Amino acid sequence: MIKVQKLFYDYGGRGQYAVREVSFTIGDGEIFGFLGPSGAGKSTVQNLITGILPLQQGEVSYDGVSLQEGGRSFFNKIGVSFEHPNLYPALTGLENLKYYRGFFAGPTQDPLTLMERVGLGEAAHKKTREYSRGMKQRLVLARSLLNQPHYLFLDEPTSGLDPNTAEQIREIIREKKEECGGIFLTTHNMHLASELCDRVALLNNGEIVAQDTPRNLQLEYGERAFKAEYSDNGELQEKIFFPEREEDRVQLKDLIASNRIQTLHSQEASLEQVFIRLTGRELT
Amino acid sequence: MIKQIINLAWLDLINISRNAIFWVILISLLVMTVTVAFLLPAERNIEQSLFFLDLSPGQQFQATLLQGGLEKEIFFTEQGALEDHIQENRGSRGIILRGTPAAPRLELIQEGAVGEGTLKILGAQLAPLLTGVANPAAYQIQIIDPDREALPLNLEALPPLLTFEVLALGFLLAAVLLFQEREEGLHRALQVSPAGPASYIGGRLLVLWGLGLISGMLLILLTVGWPARILEIMALLLLGTAFFTLLGLALAVFFRSLSEWFFIGVAVLLINMAPLLSTIIPGFAPAFLNLIPSAFLMQGLEGALFGRGAASSITLVVLLLINIGMGLITWVLLRRKIWGEGLS
């Protein structure tokens, strides 16, 4: 379990906090989504909880052990995948993994098997400067899994990927969820967060404005309503029905009985709408 | 940590071998080796820079100079031919001799202006020759260190070239690799790996030590053969490469790219190359040059290779201390500027 308590961070030391009173926990086998627009403080929080930045205020612990007690060997337990792929361009994909693997002290996975798992088996001996953006992204994800990490930090893992590859990546993340002590996922992609995350935190100006399961947030901040599209004398009509109102309930019941409904959708808010409602600004 | 260092060294070696700048440096070193071993003359041919025309009655001066051992080919019979020769051969001088041995008159022919000091030295050199004192029987040579062999001219170039070699390999390649990593965002990947700045420095030193030692020893073996004080020479090469690698890394962390680094980097490179100037221009040897680490290295190499200059043991100790200090500075800078100060 990852426990983060009351994190504050001030880059300039002048009282202008990039991160303020950020607290959350990530349970074993849980995917925790961290959502927020650019500049909200997501990277600072990730850098603090992965030990890149020194803690100024607050506490970070992994399975009850303070982050500061681990030293650099702490990095044997975590895997980090970056949004912007960072690879040695003159080295092949396999070489990139092979040499990165050599940094770790514990057991590691076979690089070629990992490359095959992310669909890069055939490109293993190609230099990464010849890889497409999507291939690089997958290789960076594979690199983050080399040391069989107990905690995984993923930054926009499906950004810029085609739908098939993105689905492959989502599948790998779901698999890892079962094996990991926690996955910290940073993304702008609301669909990804809704689909994968057990809980999400919405970050704005360095502060968490809400955190819960995606469903609870959507229900709490959305409207209880249904939007129906139906035909009326050959023309397509659209109407929102509120189940709290007796009149709407009767009307919807009649519409269903008349068999004229073409589409019917519940009107819970998307995470994007929840964020806008809470902060007045968009996520992207 | 040792596993990480070896791993990083392999990584650097593969990366370097696929980098165009490495091949440029390697080819330059090869050219220098060939130049020292085969192209540079073993002796400075002073006579070939002076040419004479004797217009004295009976050509008495020419007879004296020939008797003194000068070659017949450096004497001309016509002034026009002498002037043409001086114009065609850059750096050469012509002397027209007139008068008698009791009252000689000299006329100097050369391209461009000449300093008063040079004129006085030239006059002092020629006067005994013209009056017949140049006869070997007329002068004596006292050798202070009879065991020391005369050093061939081409080998005099060896210590500065070896210094330049470790300078180029360490300083330039360390910086080039760091900028490549920075450009690709690779430091982010290193930040979240168990490899810290100490392993990073160790890996880079290991690979550049290997390259510095192999190329340096090749240069030595191809020119002077197997040196008697090989261990000292190897230690000097290792310490020299280490210093310039650390300096290259310490400076590069302040810049985001090779183009940003260029002016400052080249300035530091030139400062470290300044002691090499004193070997090319013997008259240029201001005291401050001795404070530049490359001067220590050059003097140490000269001592270990040819038994000259400062005692190499002192040079080794000084270089070791400089390296320890530089290593600490580089570690602190890498930690602050690249790794972040969290767990590094």
Interface contact A240, partner B, CB < 8 A: no
B63-119 per-position pLDDT tens digit: 888 877 778 888 888 888 888 888 888 778 888 888 887 777 888 887 777 777 777
Residues A37 and A282 sit within 8 Å (Cβ to Cβ)? yes
B259-304 per-position pLDDT tens digit: 899 999 999 888 888 887 777 776 667 777 778 888 888 888 888 8
- Give the pLDDT score at B149: 61
Residues in CB range of B109: below 8 A, 6 or more apart: B82, B83, B86, B93, B94, B95, B96
Provide the 3-class DSSP secondary structure of residue A171: helix
**B194 and A100 in contact by Cβ < 8 A?**
no
Interface contact B13, partner A, CB < 8 A: no
**B15 and A82 in contact by Cβ < 8 A?**
no
Residues in CB range of B59: below 8 A, 6 or more apart: none
Contacts of A86 in chain B (CB under 8 A): 184-186, 188-189
Q: Which two tokens stand for residue A250?
A: 């009767």
CA distance A62 to chain B (A): 14
**A88 and B184 in contact by Cβ < 8 A?**
yes
Q: Give the number of other Cβ atoms within 10 Å of residue A271's Cβ.
A: 23
Nearest chain A residue to B8 by CA distance is A99
- pLDDT higher at B151 or B78: B78
The answer, yes or no, to whether residue A125 has pLDDT greater than 90, is yes
The answer, yes or no, to whether residue B146 has pLDDT greater than 60, is no
Cross-chain CB nearest to A88 (options B186, B188, B191): B186
- Give the pLDDT score at B84: 87
Burial B6-45 (b: 16+ CB within 10 A, else e): bbbbbbbbbbbeebebbeebbeebeebbeebbeebeeeee
The answer, yes or no, to whether residue A135 has pLDDT greater than 60, is yes
Specify burial of residue B140 (Cβ count, 10 A radius: 0-12, 13-18, 19+).
exposed
Indicate the pTM of the whole model: 0.75
**A52 and B7 in contact by Cβ < 8 A?**
no
Instruction: Report the C-alpha gap between B202 and B213 in whole angstroms.
Output: 16
The whole-number average pLDDT for the span A254-261 is: 88
DSSP tally for chain A: helices H, then strands E: 9, 13
**B192 and A143 in contact by Cβ < 8 A?**
no
Contacts of B194 in chain A (CB under 8 A): 72-73, 75-76, 103-105
Cross-chain CB nearest to B19 (options A74, A82, A90): A90
Pairing status of strand A199-204 against strand A207-212: antiparallel
Residues B168 and B28 sit within 8 Å (Cβ to Cβ)? yes
A196-205 per-position pLDDT tens digit: 899 999 888 8
- Give the pLDDT score at B315: 81
Averaged pLDDT of chain B: 81
ipTM for this prediction: 0.77
Residues in CB range of A203: below 8 A, 6 or more apart: A22, A34, A35, A36, A40, A41, A42, A45, A209
- Give the pLDDT score at B282: 64
Residue A227, H or E segment = strand A226-232
pLDDT confidence band for B333 (50 / 70 / 90) = very high
Q: Which two tokens stand for residue A2?
A: 């990852």
Contacts of B1 in chain A (CB under 8 A): none
